[in-house]
Each structure stands twice: as structure tokens, then as C-alpha cells.
Structure 1
């Protein structure tokens, strides 16, 4: 499938004194975009990653341009850059606006691990989860 695109809307309260989206709010917007992929699209394909429990193991965000709160949404492209037995990494690019040609403001790599809520411990990805995630792979190391 390639790249999944989500649309996220910044809120007035996301803005700092420079009219930029605040760092902490940027992380929240990244999460909102991931939920569209993992919960919305994932649920449609029988891979209920969010419902089964999922934790952020690592998050790295690189800011390349300011994200302004100006009444427009941001376009977020996402693909799976690493897929292993018990975790995966989503590569996210937040565009400064809603259009394909808008420049990229934030690039993030987020490693997520499935979590068994009932037994309170990490777990392996199911076959359905791995198949769904593999359909959004962009390359990188496959892992084990």
C-alpha cells in the first residue's frame, strides 16, 4: 500500500506565543494521526492494535519548519519503517498544510510495542497485526 495519509486539525490551544504548534501538542497531533492508521484503518482490516494495548517505546521528532495554527489542517504521511516480532516503528512526516506540495515541518519515528493489558506485560504481534503493518512497509530492516 505504501504511505497512509491522515489529516489532523490543530486546536487554538495548541499554539505557543509565536503562533507555532507547541512541542507537546505536536506529539499529540502525531498520536492522533497514528490512531487513524492503527485504530481506524487497522480495525477495518482486523488488526485491532489499539484495542489490544499498545505503548510508545521510543519517539524521536525532528523539527524542520514551524507548524502554524492558521485554520488549516496538517497532512501526515505514515509508513512502517521497521517491523519486528514484538515492536514496530512508524515513520511520520507532518506537512505544514493539507496539500501534497506543502513542505514537511516535522519528521518523527515512533516505536510502538503491543501490550497485554490483562496480564500487564509486553506481547508479540499477532499474525493479523503483522500482516496489516507489513502492508504499509516503506523499507528498513525487517527484524525477526
Structure 2
């Protein structure tokens, strides 16, 4: 599988006074893309457990250029960089549009921890979850040097 690609649509209210999608709303767009992978795609492939609980333990965003509000979709490419027994790291490349030549405007990473909501504590990944996540390890979002 390699890199998971999805589109998310910024809203007019996501932009700041300069017409850029602001930081807090960029983080929300990353969350929407992550939901597509960890909840929607995982369930589609028969792995519903991540939907029961997974939390962000660390978030890093590097802005390469402003993400401008255009009314169109933003493309988010994701892959799994590190996969441990009780955590995994997602890498993101955000492109400002669906155009094939659209540059990467931001890179991000999240350290994710599976979480048992009922018990109120982290848990280990199941074998099915590890297999699902391992399928997204190949490749680098945004390509080398993008």
C-alpha cells in the first residue's frame, strides 16, 4: 500500500486575516485526514479496533509555505514511519490542491497511542492493527525532497 492519500476541504472560516489557513485549523485538517485512514479505511479493511480509541501523544507541524484558502480540497499524504507495540508515528505531507504539480506546503508527524477508553489507559496494538499499520510503512509522503 505505502502512502495513504485523502482529500480534506478547508472552510472559509479556517483562514486568518492574511488568507492563510491558520495553525489550529491546519491541525484539524490533519485530524480529518487521520480519521480517513485510522477509522474509515481501517474499518473498510476489517480492522475496527482503532476506532475504539487512539490518542495523539505528540504533534509536530513544519510549514514550508502558506496554505491558502482556495475553496478546493487540500491533499494529505500519510504513511507510518515507526511502529512499536503500543505506539506508532504517522508522517504527513500536505499539498495545497489536487493539481499534480501542487507543492508540499506543510509536513507533520503525530505520535499515536492506542487507548482503552473504558479503562482510561494506553493499550498495546492488536496483531490486526499492527498488520494494517504495517501496510502503510512503505514510501515517504511528498516524495524525497518534495
Smaller-chain TM-score bracket = over 0.9
RMSD: 1.4
Does the alignment pair 1:31 with 2:31? yes
**Contact 1:113–1:122 (CA under 8 A) maintained in structure 2:** yes
Alignment partner, residue 12 of structure 1: 12
Alignment partner, residue 101 of structure 1: 101
Return 5+ residue gaps in structure 2 as ranges: 141-146
Return 5+ residue gaps in structure 1 as ranges: none
**Contact 2:80–2:88 (CA under 8 A) maintained in structure 1:** yes
1:1-144 equivalences in 2 (<5 Å) = 1-138=1-138
Q: What secondary structure sits across from 1:129 in the alignment?
A: helix
**Contact 1:38–1:49 (CA under 8 A) maintained in structure 2:** no
The verdict on how the C-alpha distance between 1:69 and 1:116 changes in structure 2, with shifts beyond 3 A counting, is same
Report the Cα distance in structure 2 between the residues aligned to 1:84 and 1:108, rounded to whole angstroms.
19
Aligned length: 140
Larger deviation: 27-36 or 130-139? 130-139
Report the Cα distance in structure 2 between the residues aligned to 1:80 and 1:120, rounded to whole angstroms.
25
Report the Cα distance in structure 2 between the residues aligned to 1:67 and 1:107, rounded to whole angstroms.
12
**Contact 2:93–2:107 (CA under 8 A) maintained in structure 1:** yes
The verdict on how the C-alpha distance between 1:37 and 1:12 changes in structure 2, with shifts beyond 3 A counting, is same
Q: What is the TM-score with the length of structure 1 in the denominator?
A: 0.93
**Contact 1:60–1:108 (CA under 8 A) maintained in structure 2:** yes
Q: Deviation of residue 99 (structure 1)?
A: 2.5
Q: Deviation of residue 12 (structure 1)?
A: 0.6
